[in-house]
Amino acid sequence: MEKKNPKEWYISNFETFEKKLNGGSKTYLHEIRKEALRELASLNFPTFRNEEWKYTDVSPIVNNNFVPAVNTTPAKVDKKTIDQLLFKNFDYHLLVFINGIFSEELSDIKELPRGVFIGSLKRLYKERPQLVDQHLNKVSRIENAFNALNTAYAVDGFAAIIPDCVIVEKPIQILYLNSSETEQILSVPRNLIMVGKNSQLSVITNHRGTGSEKYFSNIVSEILVDENGILDFYKIQYENDEAYHIEKVQAIQKKSSVLNHYNINFGGAIVRNDINSVLDDENIETHFYGLYLAHGNQHVDNHTFADHAKPNCMSNELYKGILDDNARGVFNGKIIVRKDAQKTNAYQSNKTILLSKTAKIDTKPQLEIFADDVKCSHGATVGQLDEEAEFYIRSRGVPQELAKSMLIRAFANDVIEKVKIEPLKEQLNHMIFEHLKKVEILNL
Amino acid sequence: MLAIKNLHANVEGKEILKGINLLINAGEVHAIMGPNGSGKSTLANVLAGNSSYEVTEGEVYFDGKNILEMNPETRAREGIFLAFQYPIEIAGISNATFLKTALNEIKRYKGEPELTPKEFLDRMKAKAQILGLDETLISRYVNVGFSGGEKKRNEIFQMLMLEPKFVLLDETDSGLDIDALKIVSSGVNIYRNKDNAVLVVTHYQRLLNYIQPDFVHVLFNGKIIKTGGKELALELEDKGYDWVKDEALETQNV
Ligand SMILES: Nc1ncnc2c1ncn2[C@@H]1O[C@H](COP(=O)(O)OP(=O)(O)OP(=O)(O)O)[C@@H](O)[C@H]1O
Ligand SMILES: [Mg+2]
């Protein structure tokens, strides 16, 4: 089949989509979608001429005519398949999305504290439409054609609404499984997370792919953390190696809130993460932890943005990567300290290990400071595994390959040790070795 | 046990070892002393197989095998152990994991059965006790957050766990207070027997009060310029190195 111009393709598919919506096409949400479609028509997909996308060539994504998941027949996935992909050995609420669409029967949401909503965006819209109308596409605004594409086709995603003064004890595990044997699918989860005053929530998004076809995950996550709220957001991206994956996370934080964002990337042919938080009041803490492990021809681009709008806040960022073969990494860490944001503490560190001569990283801090009484620091290093350390390990009788694995684990440990869910740590360590195809070393 | 013949070695193109000859028999303790930069750590690293050091001439036989052909892990499995002057930290790897991995590799090489988890744990606890190390050491990461003295003690702990045949101690005494020095020395003395051997690199005579050497060698500018008994260490402590250098110059040894 001949490839269509990408914008025409997604615009022409919209009609089919609208027909499937039935009554849904008369809602305010649909107005947001139609507006996004108009924006899609006027925006261009980014190219390397766009400063923000300079090192990431998205043309392989753009030039593929992916079929929006809503326009396809739902894939059949059984519980056993799901089971193999989950993080285990701790208690959690489970939500499963197949190609971005919620699956009630595969999910398992246990008893929740009163007033808490954990479920699909679709159900949230049925139950509390005004809440969705009020926040969707307002926390995050459309910045590029990918965001517009997500919004135009947004029908479902993960939603969590936590009222004030509630601690949700069990983490929420969300499996986004992309799977098709027949079509190249566009999956567009749209997530909305609102943590009330003095409330706490922990979320694990688990992005996976099965099936034989190439696919494109294009995600937007909108997050509000109200006064004194704490959100731990673990993103673990292990799509299959041919997949394309783009996510924009936009958070707005209120007074004395804490956001811990963990951005752990294994899979995908082209991956782009935009992790943004606005520190919109005083005494806020934002932690951005990242780990990227890539091999073959994988390309992984992480853009982060800590927007210090008010005084006395702290942002702390630690991104580490291990790149092998021809893998390519991009890191861009933006920190803006606005005029009012006196007494800001902002730290940033990016460290990359290259395991081969052909792996490459482009790393760039981007600090824009408009206040005078601030503490900011940033640093970036690129290197190899330490040969002296390798010698130390081998001098105890450990073979070279295993010594390297120990050093890989040691390098990743700075980030892994920040993970608060113990059983998740060992599973992440396992994934590091599995993905890099290195001899595994797990602690006794 | 160990025979070093006319050993020359370079670091980054610069010759550091300039013809070392040394014979160490089972049951012996040898000490090497010498000023900073004379090549003591270089010798230790070359014997353990550090590839940053390039051997340009000479031979080293360990139990009749030419070890210069062997990679570091094979040398370790053959029974060579270097207690490092500056031990490395390995975050994310527990001491138990590290030592179990090492011990199993060594056992497999020798064709011996692996230890059961219980045997391994018991052994860790017993050896830790000898060195006055807390049992929490077992689950702590290798050398991470250890004080300088703890790192040195941990080297001796590893030695006791792995039971090598030939031990190189590279300034294991430096940075130790007197109590730690006694503990570390007793660890080494517990390990010593007629079948193994020790080469101690040190600047201080005080260690040799606890680990009594059979021979003391003076390394200067990449060569052994004098060899004596344990009284030589006392003399060096007293008079410094200049007189040895002068003596060597007279006999055209430098
Ligand atoms: N990795 C290296 N790169 C460059 N030069 C080195 C390296 N290792 C050793 N050298 C040089 O080789 C010489 C001998 O160093 P070595 O560490 O063997 O001395 P040493 O006798 O152990 O000294 P100290 O008593 O200070 O420990 C020194 O001049 C040192 O600078
Ligand atoms: Mg030295």
pLDDT of residue A24: 74
Choose one of A255, A281, A307: the last residue of a domain.
A281
Tell me the pLDDT tens digit for each residue of A154-172.
999 999 999 999 999 999 9
Choose one of A246, A281, A316: the last residue of a domain.
A281
- Say if A422 falls within a structural domain: yes
Q: Which residue has the tokens 């059961």?
A: B116
Mark the ranges of chain B whose per-residue pLDDT is less than 70. 252-254
Number of domain units in chain A: 2
**Summary mean pLDDT of chain A:** 96
- Say if A379 falls within a structural domain: no
Work out the number of other CB atoms within 10 angstroms of the CB of residue B127. 22
For residue A222, CA distances in Å to A114, A120, A135, A388, A440 come to: 23, 14, 8, 45, 36
- C-alpha angle with apex A32: A251 to A207, nearest 5 degrees? 50
- Say if A326 falls within a structural domain: no
| A-B contacts at Cβ under 8 angstroms | 97
Choose one of A235, A251, A281: the last residue of a domain.
A281
pLDDT of residue A21: 84
- Tell the residue nearest (CA) to atom 16 of ligand 1: B39
Tell me the pLDDT tens digit for each residue of A317-355.
999 999 999 999 999 999 999 999 999 999 999 999 999
Write out the two tokens for A68: 């929006």
pLDDT of residue A211: 84
pLDDT of residue A327: 98
Q: What is the mean pLDDT of residues A11-15?
A: 94
**Which residues have any ligand 1 atom within 6 Å of their CB?**
B 11-12, 16, 34, 36-42, 52
Tell me the pLDDT tens digit for each residue of B16-27.
999 999 999 999
Write out the two tokens for A53: 């996308």
- Determine the residue of chain A that is closest to B117 in CA distance: A444
**How far, in Å, CA of B229 to CA of A315, rounded?**
62
- Say if A355 falls within a structural domain: no
CA of A424 relative to ligand 2 center, distance in Å = 42
Tell me the pLDDT tens digit for each residue of A77-134.
999 999 999 999 999 999 999 999 999 999 999 999 999 999 999 999 999 999 999 9
The whole-angstrom distance between residue A224's C-alpha and the CA centroid of its chain comes to: 16
- Say if A297 falls within a structural domain: no
Q: What is the CATH number of the domain that holds B42?
A: 3.40.50.300
- Say if A294 falls within a structural domain: no
Write out the two tokens for A18: 């609208």
- Say if A220 falls within a structural domain: yes
Task: Tell me which residue range forms the domain holding A152.
Answer: 6-281
Task: Tell me which residue range forms the domain holding B221.
Answer: 2-250
Instruction: Judge: A412–B49 Cβ closer than 8 Å, yes or no.
Output: no
Tell me the pLDDT tens digit for each residue of A180-208.
999 999 999 999 999 999 999 999 999 99
Number of domain units in chain B: 1
Report yes or no: B87 at the A interface, CB cutoff 8 Å.
Answer: yes
- Say if A307 falls within a structural domain: no
